[in-house]
Amino acid sequence: MSTKTQLITSASIQTQVDVPCSITDKSRNTPRFVTFDNLCDNKEHIALVYSGDVWTPEQENIAPPLVRIHSKCLTGDTFGSRLCDCGQQLHHAQDCISRHGGVLLYMDQEGRGIGLYNKLKCYFLKATQGLDTYEANRHLNFPDDLRDYTPAAEMLLALNIERIKLLTNNPDKAKQITKHGIEITSLENTPTFETEENHDYLACKKKKTQHNLNIK
Q: Quickly list DSSP for the chain.
A: -PPP-PPP---EEEEEEE---GGGGGGT-PPEEEEEES-TT----EEEEE--S---TT-TTSPPPEEEEEE--IIIIIT--SSSSHHHHHHHHHHHHHHH-EEEEEE--GGGGT-HHHHHHHHHHHHHH---HHHHHHHTT--S-----HHHHHHHHHTT--EEEEE-S-HHHHHHHHHTT-EEEEEEPPP----TTTHHHHHHHHHHH----S--
Question: Residue range 137-165: average pLDDT?
Answer: 94
Q: Measured between alpha carbons, how far is 63 from 30 in angstroms, rounded to an integer?
A: 20
Model pLDDT for residues 83-108, shown as the tens digit of each residue? 999 999 999 999 999 888 899 999 99
Query: Rounded mean pLDDT of 121-130?
Result: 94
pLDDT at 9: 85
Give how far the C-alpha of residue 99 lies from the chain's centroid of Cα atoms, to the nearest Å. Answer: 18
Domain 12-109+149-192: give its CATH code.
3.40.50.10990
Told to judge if 145 belongs to the known catalytic residues of this protein, a careful annotator would answer yes
Indicate which residue of 108, 147, 148, 163 is catalytic. Answer: 147
How far the first Cα of the chain sits from its last, in Å, is 28
Q: What is the pLDDT of residue 43?
A: 95
Catalytic residue list contains 28: no
pTM of the model: 0.90
Q: What percent of the chain is predicted at pLDDT more than 90?
A: 69
pLDDT above 70 coverage of the chain, percent: 90
Active-site annotation holder among 41, 145, 163, 200 = 145
The amino acid at residue 98 is S
Residues in a beta bridge with 167 = 188
Each domain of the chain, given as residue ranges in start order, spans 12-109+149-192
Residue-averaged pLDDT of the chain: 89
